[in-house]
Amino acid sequence: MTSPHPGAAARGPDAGPGAAPPAGTPTGTSAPRRGRPPARNEILHGDRLGGLDAADLAARFGTPLYVYDLDVIERQFDALRAALPPSVEIAYAVKANPALAIVAHLGHLGLGADVASGGELATARRAGIPAERVVVTGPGKRDAELRDAVAAGVRAITVESPGELDRLERIATGASRRVPVLLRASVSTADRLERVRLVGDDGAGKFGMDEPDIRAAARSAARSRHLELLGVHRFGASNVLDAGRLAAHVDETVELARAVAAHAAVPLRLVDAGGGLGIPYEPHEESLDVAGFGRRVGALAARWATTPGMRDLRLLLEPGRYLVGAAGAYVARVVDRKRVGEAEVAILDGGIHHLLRPALVGQEHRVRVLGADPRTARSWPVTIAGPLCSGLDIFAANATLSAPAVGDLVAVLDTGAYGFTESMPLFLSHAIPAEVAIRGGRAALIRPRLEPAEWLDRQLLPVW
């Protein structure tokens, strides 16, 4: 996946101010002071997105639109790679944002890819990520998806159940291949409860196997001539900002994998501890102490290096949101403004059909009115809403903002992950927004705006 990453030393000033040093360069050791969040590495600086005027972007690409700053993504990766020991590999969780240009950019930096569908596997391959840096994860893999992964020769396929292991062995036998596998373990009760707190559900047991099944699956995989058991995959909670908790999850996962490998009498070579590295959404939240996380993982890796049977262990992490979340902004234009009782309401030309996450998980994103003059703008509680016929279509309720006028632009921040990709774009048949990437102060269209007429043209009227 990644060793010290190939482009770090060559990029120099292109990485922008505040960029992390190349991999292997010592990083600072001081943790952020409590109660004073560090400066965010994000797309918005003043009223400019990636250094560019938002009004110019809106005029060029229309609204609503998604904008991603690739330099922010690069700095996030640089910081993570520099903090982690060389025995840790990094695979980008494509589900966070599968835009081809973003996946290709991360692949160019040396990352692998964590894919959870045949479509994501195709995206990673088209983006130029070699198959040997791709891991295939996720429940409910269809036989066709397993066949494609086997044919591609991916780094590993994570197996979610005894039944999936049987299907994969049949496919591998039919292809005369020896397929590397990881066995996915279900998470602890504590992690399931934390998932409920963060995203409203615990998966109801759909992910992974419990201990008896994973031990039996390990023995079966170890006996197979067409499966190669590498280790264990285990994912905890999402969007974790506590470096100690993340490191504890890694430690627990490796210990579990060690026990499973010993039970099956195979060497432990790869442990996939999933993602979960978070970003702050609320203004009061502190950013993840990635240097502190790296120090903790480094201490664990030093211990593994002196433990018999673990000296060749590689750890795989699958960050998604941490790399791309803060690099994105959803930009929409105010089309109406009104006062209802004591409430100021601004209606945008885009809403939760493009950015569902605030309604889906019940967490508001930071919202900024672009272009307001801070010397003259008055701030008071404003509700920012979209154009849909749904009371759920709210980005911010009674947020203290410079009250926007009709025609103003509004940016919803931290939407580089689980924004466009987690939307419901066909609801009410509005246009689907363009996606734009910025790098080095230049903007490029990476997915064009899609008008309703274009998907109308793909529908059929039957002749009865």
374 CA to centre of own chain: 34
For the ranges 17-21, 26-30, 37-41, 272-276, the maximum mean pLDDT occurs at: 272-276
Peptide bond into 64 cis (omega under 30): yes
Please check whether residue 75 lies inside any domain of the structure. Answer: no
Strand 134-136 and strand 156-159: pairing? Answer: parallel
The helix (run of H) or strand (run of E) holding residue 251 is helix 243-264
Please check whether residue 286 lies inside any domain of the structure. Answer: yes
Of 317, 341, 372, the position where a domain reaches its end is 317
* Residue 204 pLDDT class (50, 70, 90 cuts): low
Q: Do residue 245 and residue 283 come from a single domain?
A: yes
Please check whether residue 77 lies inside any domain of the structure. Answer: no
CB 385 within 8 A of CB 355: no
Question: For 62, left (φ over 0), alpha (ψ -120 to 50), or beta?
Answer: left
Of 299, 317, 335, the position where a domain reaches its end is 317
Position 12 pLDDT exceeds 60: no
pLDDT of residue 262: 96
Helix intervals (H) in 38-142: 54-61, 70-83, 100-108, 118-126
Position 165 pLDDT exceeds 60: yes
Q: What is the pTM of this model?
A: 0.88
Please check whether residue 285 lies inside any domain of the structure. Answer: yes
Q: Do residue 370 and residue 423 come from a single domain?
A: yes
Q: Do residue 263 and residue 383 come from a single domain?
A: no
Q: What is the mean pLDDT of residues 273-287?
A: 93
pLDDT of residue 20: 34
Q: Do residue 266 and residue 294 come from a single domain?
A: yes
E strands in 179-299: 179-184, 227-233, 270-272
Distance of alpha carbon 287 from alpha carbon 290, whole angstroms: 8
Higher-pLDDT residue of 372 and 213 is 213
Torsion of CA 135, 140, 143, 146, to 10 degrees: 0
DSSP letters, 116-185, are -SHHHHHHHHHTT--GGGEEE--S---HHHHHHHHHHT-SEEEE-SHHHHHHHHHHHHHTT--EEEEEEB
CB 328 within 8 A of CB 68: yes
Domain that holds residue 388: 326-456
Number of domains in the chain: 2
Q: Do residue 361 and residue 435 come from a single domain?
A: yes
Q: What is the mean pLDDT of residues 426-445?
A: 97
Looking at the DSSP bridge assignments, the partners of residue 401 are: 380
Q: List CB contacts of 203: < 8 A, sequence separation 6 or more.
A: 192, 195
Q: List CB contacts of 338: < 8 A, sequence separation 6 or more.
A: 344, 345, 347
| Domain CATH code at residue 165 | 3.20.20.10
Residue 77: half-sphere exposure toward Cβ, Cα within 13 Å: 33
Position 423 pLDDT exceeds 90: yes
Please check whether residue 250 lies inside any domain of the structure. Answer: yes
Least confidently predicted of 145-154, 246-255, 365-374, 380-389: 365-374
| Domain CATH code at residue 367 | 2.40.37.10
Please check whether residue 236 lies inside any domain of the structure. Answer: yes
Q: What is the mean pLDDT of residues 109-135?
A: 98
Please check whether residue 121 lies inside any domain of the structure. Answer: no
Q: Do residue 165 and residue 240 come from a single domain?
A: yes
* Residue 380 pLDDT class (50, 70, 90 cuts): confident
Helix, strand and coil content of the chain, in percent to the nearest 5, comes to: 35, 25, 40
Please check whether residue 344 lies inside any domain of the structure. Answer: yes
Position 462 pLDDT exceeds 70: yes
Q: Do residue 183 and residue 332 come from a single domain?
A: no
Q: What is the mean pLDDT of residues 307-321?
A: 95
Higher-pLDDT residue of 363 and 232 is 232
Q: Do residue 281 and residue 207 come from a single domain?
A: yes
- Whose CA is closest to 421, among 95, 117, 104? 95
- Whose CA is closest to 43, among 330, 424, 382, 456? 330
- Whose CA is closest to 260, among 201, 332, 210, 298? 210
Q: Do residue 335 and residue 381 come from a single domain?
A: yes
* Residue 34 pLDDT class (50, 70, 90 cuts): very low
Of 282, 317, 352, the position where a domain reaches its end is 317
Q: List CB contacts of 276: < 8 A, sequence separation 6 or more.
A: 235, 236, 237, 238, 239, 240, 246, 249
Cβ of 42: how many Cβ atoms within 10 Å? 22
φ/ψ (deg, to 5) at 181: -130, 155
Q: Do residue 295 and residue 442 come from a single domain?
A: no
Q: Do residue 280 and residue 258 come from a single domain?
A: yes
DSSP letters, 293-362, are HHHHHHHHHHHHHTSTT-TT-EEEE--SHHHHGGGEEEEEEEEEEEEETTEEEEEES--TTT--HHHHHT
Strand 434-439 and strand 343-348: pairing? Answer: unpaired
Six token digits for residue 204: 């109801």
CB 386 within 8 A of CB 393: yes
- Whose CA is closest to 441, among 39, 7, 49? 49
Q: What is the mean pLDDT of residues 109-118?
A: 97
Average pLDDT of the chain is 88
Q: Do residue 284 and residue 338 come from a single domain?
A: no
